[in-house]
Structure 1
Amino acid sequence: MLLSDVVAVSSEVAATSSRKAKTTALAGLLRRLEPPEVATATALLAGELPGGKAGVGWSTLASLQVTPATEPTLGVADVDSAIDEVRAISGSGSGQRRAEALTGLLGRATEDEQQFLIRLFGGELRQGALEGVMVEAIAAAAEVRTESVRRAFMLSGRLPATAEAALSGGEPALAEFHLELGRPIRPMLASPADALDTALAEFTECSLEYKLDGARIQVHRDGDDVHVYTRTLREITRNVGELVELVRGLDCRSVVLDGETLALDDAGRPRPFQETMARFGAQEQREELLHPYFFDCLHLDGTDLLDLPLRDRLKALSQVAGAHRIPGVLSPAPDEAAALFEEALAAGHEGVVIKDLNSPYAAGRRGKAWRKIKPEHTLDLVVLAAEWGHGRRSGSLSNLHLGARDPDGGPPIMVGKTFKGLTDELLAWQTAEFQRRATRDDGWVVHVAPELVVEIELDGVQTSSRYPGGVALRFARVLRYRPDKEAAEADTIEAVRGMLRGG
């Protein structure tokens, strides 16, 4: 298949707001692929570089001026090989050699293909929100159940591999995916609830737990072999030796645990979130020790527990890691729930999470089996652009343009701006970082690839004709950036509108 076919479908998907139309177009292309093309084309359609990052920055891409080809000749396999070639370049002079390899690739591409490839290498297509639509398209193309595809994707963590299995082997091939020690699975997520009492009323039996101001971790142990992963499935084992040793000391042969970790101060209160995240990238021993708090057990001593109800998984968790279980209670009365909520806040945490005791582990979805409650309104939004500041902020990128995720796979939908809450340190960081990620600069506004997630505190939302989503943030201020989250995990435009109804 030619790259031009992929580009045409990608453009068709971007041009429609209909989820059904997106799914139909994607499924139609998937059916036409040859088996060796499936993984690469799936990655391209999802806006991902096949095989992951290739070490190409926007500064390199912006410097390339290549005359486009007049006719499409590039095949999907050609693009895959060219990306592998760029990724393999390293050592002295690698920047120049990458630029030369990219020039060769772009010289074989038409104008539309060039724009697609530049946005692909620059991360501008990698919004992640298209994953849900891609799952449905794979199911339609392979004529299998969507739930089978979703589960295989949960267990593999790789959409291209899931598509290959579905299109080559159908349901039996998808059923071959299972929890594999040392291969992280996509985490289950909680959806926001407005109030504790109304959220409690949604469940007949539930677990109520602290919602920590920490970072999500998933740990795998097989004998003495331990691996630790972030919520984005990035391995951080070598940076968190204290967690490795703790898990290695548990009384079991094998285990997979889901939880959070955070650094504590001398009084036992959580340190700033940024200090916890700094440990994930540390290249040397740091003073701050991480403390784990586990809230789920997905595997224990040879038995997978994903499909068991939460109550059974919690029993396994208490058995293997009871001393490190997150604080919580089972099926509390309203006064008990309120007391735990206040206790969590007094300890410096964000709030509580309510979980259905009858629910299996359904990774990668924000359903209503898990509900989170915080005392303040916050949203995780995608940074779309920033404006150059003036006065004391002259020379700094300050006023942020913020977007909510489109659940139907389109680009983020702008819902407001803010320059409040930005410390001098954050201003300096984002000025440098945004210029590195810039896709367009008109001298006043610097547009960036839609991949950075920022947590915003706000008083609420209001109807507005100024922004395409029909709503606008009220009194928004920056709390922090969320390097542990991808754009696919940002709050949706539906969640933003839901705050309007709640207000």
Structure 2
Amino acid sequence: MIGCASSWTGLGPDAWILSCRVKSSGLHPRSGNVVDVSQVFDILMYTDAEGEKYDLRQTPFKARIDLLAKVLVPKDRWLEVVPGVSMSTAGEVQKRLEGAIEARMEGLVIKDAASKYFFNARKRGWYKIKPEYDGLSESLDLIVVGAYFGDSAKRRGGAGTSTDLADNCAQFLLAAKRHNSGPEASVVTVCKVGTGFSMEQLKEMRAKLRPNLKRYDPHRAPSWMGGWRGGPRSKPDAVIDSPANGFVMEVRAAEIVPTEEYEFGHTLRFPRAVKPMREDK
């Protein structure tokens, strides 16, 4: 069972509350702004219409999931089945893992379709897949120059004041300072990051950006962006008026990979904040 904001609409990028503890988010079950949602991911015991009981622990996982779909009637925002997808290649797993990290989730749980259920057992057909951060030996200091909304409804809408923009930012656009560049084009975009910080730190970052944050319009982009306007996955929802009004974030990543999404020509794979706000820089 998980506690979710009462405005929650389902698993995915919009379910930002899943990436933090309800207590640290300022929500409280008795306040009316939190609902308890039961997320079902398996079925171990079953009683049929005739009263016959079945122990399903030695039944293959795929058969259990098929039965679960037949006997459970989900109810939105009360009783729901954890979404899953069948995969058979490492490439499919890689793509799903990247999507999970993009959605500010920790990773994936991979289950062998033929696996049986064992209490208090590890690595018996069930595996947790998370990014490894040993690829880059050093962390990077990058400048926060823009942001992405955590709520896709806000992203689709065009309205919003500066306060609305800041309060809905959940991920951040990071850039590196150009070498020997003038103030009009002082940074080059590198990546976006949405993990590695708590709700309290997120509030501090929002407050820091709030006075200088504005809705991003690629047709009227600020001069510091140069010729970059953002790709399908990298275009921000909001940007600051000047890199001088951003702040430094220390990040780590699994590796640096080529991309056309950012002006740098490369980006960080699985980036996460080590120190969300470097006050000393």
Fold similarity call, TM over 0.5: no
Shorter chain as denominator, the TM-score bin is 0.3 to 0.5
Q: State the TM-score, normalized to the length of structure 2.
A: 0.37
Q: State the TM-score, normalized to the length of structure 1.
A: 0.22
Structure with the bigger percentage of helix:
1
Query: Which has the higher Rg, Structure 1 or Structure 2?
Result: 1
With CA pairs under 8 Å and 6+ residues apart, which has the higher RCO, 1 or 2?
A: 2
Structure with the bigger percentage of strand:
2
